[in-house]
Structure 1
Amino acid sequence: MNIKDSESGLGATQSSASFKHGVILVLAAVMPAMAIISLVPVLPLLLQEFAQVQGSEFLVPIALTIPALCVAVFSPMAGWVSDKIGRKSVLFFALLTYAVIGLLPFFLTDLIHIIVARVVLGIAEAAIMTVATAMIGDYFVGKTRERWVAIQIASVSLSAIILIAIGGALGEVLGSRGPFLLYLLALPIAFFVAFVLFEPKKNALNSALQHAQLPWLRILPLMFTTLFVGIIFYTIIVKMGEILALASAVSPAVIGGIGAAANIGVATGSFVFRAFKGASGQTLVGMGLLLAAMGYCGASLSSSLTFTSIALVIACLGFGILLPAMLTWILKELPEKVRGRGTGLWTGAFFLGQFAAPIVVTALQSQLGGLSTVLLLIAGLSAAGSVLALVKARGAQGLVTQ
């Protein structure tokens, strides 16, 4: 598949966007990740608090993860709305909604009411993630865009380390509802969106672009690849403790430490991605999937906690290459008139993978006889995908700007 850059005419927009605009968009993109990560430390407290509620062992985890499903479902719609009425206003009101509704469970006592609030929160997250990413595509092109995409992926990964620590500290001091105060961080970001960001300019060079359609034949393979990457990426995150336990008994502190190393691996891979000057999207996907296959294979076969940890970091290095490569690729394929919708579809596919990961892996565990076999299956699928991508890389156009 050849990569077609659909960004002509955005030079004026790029020249008026600067470092401060990129920082604001990256900070906004961190907010959706915070919705789940910050609550992980207080999950046991929430389970204990609502133990008397029928089905709480199912409903409490759903309250934690339901925003991811909402992002998957509503991101395409959020992108479509931003294409129609403008990016800046959608992002501003989504951040306000995120702050208010995100804080609401701090005061709620009914589990069902909390879940409803989390659904609304997920809709706001869909708009934030989709529009912030689309605006990076609107504001920047070429090397500058690649840099901000890499910074976005790395920032989300590194913020996970900080947010989980802050969430734990707030839970320690204020109980199970403490981490919900973190959602107020969206308010100053909304302020900067309102007073610093500008509405991206529209290209009016030709009428064909004004009536542009989504290039389905080029983006559908990217969407399915993104869904697969989302599932295998979040398998490591949600099954970290179980994967490590295949080699040795582990404490929560050990799991947290190795999880931090894995997130650093993702961030490192995100910056390494830009070092492959002139590499095609197929080549980068092939490299990322190969590292994921190596990591999963090592984790499955390992009997040493140290080796398992190294294997997981190797896999996360691969994901650090895969995620910015996929996002840069989809942004290059999308005409500006439908960039919001296309970015929404990409975001939806990725978050659907996040939501589906624990369901798919748990189902496979029961069918295949254990987690170790599932890890080997994922390694095999990743290796097959790597071979396919590298075969298709012959003669493909470069993705990373030289």
Structure 2
Amino acid sequence: MRVTPAGRGAGVRQIAMLVGSGFSVMPIAARVTEFSGVIGLATALASAATVAGSIAFTRLPGRPEHRLPAVFAVCGLGFVVIGLAAHPALVIVGAVLNCLGTGVLLPSLLTVAMSGLEYADRGRGTGLWTAAFFAGEFLCPLVLIATESAVGSLAAAVGLLGLVSAVVAGGLLLGRRRNTSDRVQ
């Protein structure tokens, strides 16, 4: 039976939507400081960190799905640092951490999404993955505004997104351990 892009990878596309929403946080999160120079510097360094993470992806050993929990944890740590930042320099540190993680995360997720598809279906699969990612980017400001209203500040909203990332990392780690123990038995 042939696995189609629509049927295979729905979970990965849901994670891609979450990543898309997290990926767009950096330009918004940099606003937790009022210094425009810091916002520009944070955005520039975070963008460079994304590139560095993507390059690091090509050199990392092992299977991409095995590193997903750790990479989500790095992204979440960056969000938490931004959320707790009492100084503009910490906003930059958090942005760099987060984007270093997303630089590894994006190609890892795309590799996982495509690995279960036949070669002829990978174009459609990539299209579905990309649609999920950009849907997440579209939802990002809406979710952050709603969360900011609920928790009282943009910094707290970004910190909460860091906790969500930690929960996703934990869920992926538990799922990976279950899959490993199922194969052993």
1:214 partnered with 2:31: no
Q: Determine which of 290, 294, 298 is the counterpart of 2:77.
A: 294
1:381 partnered with 2:159: no
**Which residue does 1:342 correspond to in 2?**
125
Give identity over the alignment, percent: 30
**Which residue does 1:392 correspond to in 2?**
175
**Which residue does 2:15 correspond to in 1?**
225
Q: Distance in 1 between matches of 2:29 and 2:155?
A: 13
Q: Structure 1 residues 292 and 352, CA, compared in 2 at 3 Å: closer, same or farther? A: same
**Which residue does 1:88 correspond to in 2?**
none
TM-superposed deviation, 1:393? 2.7
Q: Distance in 1 between matches of 2:107 and 2:151?
A: 32
Q: Distance in 2 between matches of 1:254 and 1:375?
A: 17
What is the count of residue pairs matched by the alignment? 179
Q: Distance in 2 between matches of 1:308 and 1:317?
A: 14
Q: Distance in 2 between matches of 1:280 and 1:258?
A: 28
Q: Determine which of 248, 252, 259 is the counterpart of 2:43.
A: 259
**Which residue does 2:35 correspond to in 1?**
250
Q: Is the 8 A contact 1:240 1:259 kept in 2?
A: no
TM-score calculated relative to the size of structure 1 = 0.42
Q: Distance in 2 between matches of 1:228 and 1:328?
A: 17
**Within-5 A mapping of 1:188-199:** none
**Which residue does 1:137 correspond to in 2?**
none
TM-superposed deviation, 1:217? 5.4
**Which residue does 1:351 correspond to in 2?**
134
TM-score calculated relative to the size of structure 2 = 0.88
Q: Distance in 2 between matches of 1:280 and 1:317?
A: 15
Larger Cα-atom Rg: 1
**Within-5 A mapping of 1:1-400:** 212-214=2-4, 216=6, 218-237=8-27, 239-243=28-32, 245=33, 249-251=34-36, 253-281=37-65, 283-394=66-177
Q: What are the Cα deviations for residues 311-342 of structure 1, in whole angstroms up to 9, with x where unaligned?
A: 11001111011101011111222212222221
TM-superposed deviation, 1:369? 1.4
User: Which structure is higher in helix share?
Assistant: 2
Greater RCO, 1 or 2 (C-alpha within 8 Å, sep 6+): 2
Q: Structure 1 residues 350 and 215, CA, compared in 2 at 3 Å: closer, same or farther? A: closer
Aligned amino acid, residue 40 of structure 2: G
Q: Is the 8 A contact 2:20 2:137 kept in 1?
A: yes
RMSD: 1.8
Aligned amino acid, residue 381 of structure 1: V
Q: What are the Cα deviations for residues 218-255 of structure 1, in whole angstroms up to 9, with x where unaligned?
A: 40110000000000110112x04413x1xxx312x432
Q: Distance in 1 between matches of 2:38 and 2:47?
A: 14
Give ranges in structure 2 of 5+ residues lacking alignment.
Answer: 181-185
Once superposed, which parts of structure 1, at least 4 consecutive aligned residues long, lie more than 3 Å away? Answer: 215-218
